[in-house]
């Protein structure tokens, strides 16, 4: 029933569209992902991917590493990896939905000749499907070892691509079931090139799943609700709801992306560092600290979040993204944590290594009523030689969170900063202006200038 109902909802939206309000709510995540994708296009992981797979099959879809037109599945893979490689992409639904769905939608949409309105409708549908499934789990997939973004992303991308292809309810259900069987990704790969590869593969899986369903490939009719199906197979403890009906998109609350939009990242590090980063940077803004006086930095976060931040003495920029020790030391040393700081040279610097050894992570109960696996708030305490410790204000929502959204000017500033760190700096304001008008733009026109 669940699999069938999901397919029926996708098919209805493929014909009727979603809503103007939902498309407006989706647009910031799309624009932000394009920025992080372009910034990531010059990074070693996606370039290694393209080198290893060269030559990519030609087609109508644009890929950001070489700036060429390739087949839709390859473009989704390359662009998905580039969008996620900096860990600067948005957060929602217990993962990073836009880094998977936007590359898949852009690639297939270009191949099909769709426009921006179709793309935004597809995003809304994929977001709804992802959210309806992931919220049926009461445990935390990452604690089991699953990379939620790539596991659920394959399904969300398949749903979005099924909407672009305008599949009927039966084929749409097959598409998401085919996406489900490709959903995979391991937490043990965090801090390596494989993490962003997992995201790219989820985007690619979505394109392939929808195209195969269109061609007539079938999958299990009860893949999501079956005792050995997608939800229970990935569940950490089997505590999953397969019986509740789908959430409605036809009442006054509208689509999920309107109710729970994405949270935009301010720092290119794991989102579980962001509350503590806001805390320490606000503390330092009020009271400058000489790092020579710092005896210890105590960070209070949940055990669940601490488990994800696995790298305690990172030596590379990739490893540093999953290190609370790096986040705190970087804030103290540089007064900021941005793309310029997430490098091998910065992570491996002697002063950074020394300061990281003074950071202590203290775990507390995950008692947040609204953030799965989080403490009610995170806080930072800086202990100094011979003076009273400095204690931050508690932070329950980092800046950029859906409850503390960035202003349009801040969103645009992040986009420009991403382009400045990419080969596409020349695209600048013209690209940003075009993206703000995405709903009326043919996707085939999207090919930023270097």
Q: Which CATH class is domain 271-391?
A: alpha beta
- The neighbouring-strand residues paired with 302 are 364
Distance CA 279, CA 378 (A): 8
pLDDT value at residue 386: 85
Distance CA 106, CA 37 (A): 12
Total number of residues shown for the chain? 450
Q: Are 94 and 134 in contact (CB under 8 A)?
A: yes
Per-residue pLDDT of the chain (450 residues; tens, 9 = 90+): 999 999 999 999 999 999 999 999 999 999 999 999 999 999 999 999 999 999 999 999 999 999 999 999 999 999 999 999 999 999 999 999 999 999 999 999 999 999 999 999 999 999 999 999 999 998 889 889 999 999 999 999 999 999 999 999 999 999 999 999 999 999 999 999 999 999 999 999 999 999 999 999 999 999 999 999 999 999 999 889 999 999 776 554 589 999 999 999 999 999 999 999 999 999 999 999 999 999 999 999 999 999 999 999 999 999 999 999 999 999 999 999 999 999 999 999 999 999 999 999 999 999 898 888 899 999 999 999 889 999 999 999 999 999 999 999 999 999 999 999 999 999 988 999 999 999 999 999 999 988
List Cα–Cα distances, 450 to 31, 67, 69, 295, 415, in angstroms: 18, 8, 15, 47, 15
Q: Are 97 and 148 in contact (CB under 8 A)?
A: no
Angle between helices 169-181 and 193-215 (to 10 degrees): 150
pLDDT value at residue 390: 95
pLDDT value at residue 254: 86
pLDDT value at residue 249: 66
3-state secondary structure of 58: strand
Of 76, 102, 309, 97, the residue nearest 187 (C-alpha): 309
The domain segmentation of the chain, as residue ranges, is 2-265+408-445, 271-391
CATH code for 2-265+408-445? 1.10.4100.10
Distance CA 392, CA 301 (A): 13
Q: Are 31 and 411 in contact (CB under 8 A)?
A: yes
């Amino acid at each position: 029933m669940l699999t069938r109902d999901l397919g029926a909802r996708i098919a209805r939206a493929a014909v009727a569209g979603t809503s103007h309000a939902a498309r407006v709510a989706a647009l910031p995540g799309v624009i932000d992902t394009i920025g992080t994708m372009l910034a990531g296009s010059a990074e070693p992981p996606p370039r290694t991917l393209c080198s290893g797979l060269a030559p990519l099959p030609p087609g109508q879809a644009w890929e950001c590493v070489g700036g060429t037109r390739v087949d839709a599945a390859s473009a989704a893979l390359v662009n998905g990896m580039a969008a996620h490689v900096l860990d600067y992409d948005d957060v929602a639904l217990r993962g990073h939905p836009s880094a998977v769905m936007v590359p898949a939608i852009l690639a297939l949409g270009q191949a099909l000749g769709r426009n921006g309105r179709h793309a935004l409708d597809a995003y809304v549908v994929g977001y709804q499907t992802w959210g309806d499934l992931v919220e049926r789990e009461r445990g935390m997939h990452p604690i089991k070892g699953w990379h939620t973004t790539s596991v659920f992303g394959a399904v969300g991308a398949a749903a979005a691509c099924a909407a672009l292809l305008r599949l009927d309810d039966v084929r749409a259900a097959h598409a998401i079931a085919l996406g489900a069987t490709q959903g995979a990704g391991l937490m043990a790969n965090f801090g390596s090139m494989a993490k962003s590869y997992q995201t790219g593969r989820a985007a690619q899986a979505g394109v392939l799943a929808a195209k195969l369903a269109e061609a007539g490939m079938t999958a299990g009719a009860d893949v999501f609700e079956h005792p050995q199906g997608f939800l229970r197979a990935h569940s950490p403890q089997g505590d999953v709801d397969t019986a509740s009906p789908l959430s409605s998109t036809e009442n006054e609350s509208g689509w999920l992306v309107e109710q729970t939009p994405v949270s935009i990242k301010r720092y290119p590090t794991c989102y579980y560092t962001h509350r503590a980063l806001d805390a320490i940077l606000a503390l330092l803004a009020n009271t400058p600290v000489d790092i020579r006086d710092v005896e210890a930095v105590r960070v209070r976060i949940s055990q669940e979040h601490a488990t994800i931040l696995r790298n305690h003495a990172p030596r590379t920029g990739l490893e540093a993204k999953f290190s609370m020790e790096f986040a705190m030391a970087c804030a103290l040393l540089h007064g900021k944590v941005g793309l310029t700081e997430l490098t091998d040279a910065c992570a491996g610097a002697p002063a950074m290594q020394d300061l990281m050894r003074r950071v202590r992570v203290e775990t507390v109960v995950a008692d947040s009523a609204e953030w799965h696996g989080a403490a009610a708030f995170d806080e930072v305490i800086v202990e100094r030689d011979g003076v009273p410790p400095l204690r931050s204000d508690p932070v329950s929502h980092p800046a950029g969170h859906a409850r503390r959204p960035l202003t349009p000017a801040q969103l645009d500033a992040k986009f420009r900063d991403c382009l400045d760190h990419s080969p596409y700096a020349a695209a600048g304001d013209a690209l940003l202006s075009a993206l703000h008008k995405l709903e009326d733009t043919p996707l085939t026109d999207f090919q930023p200038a270097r």
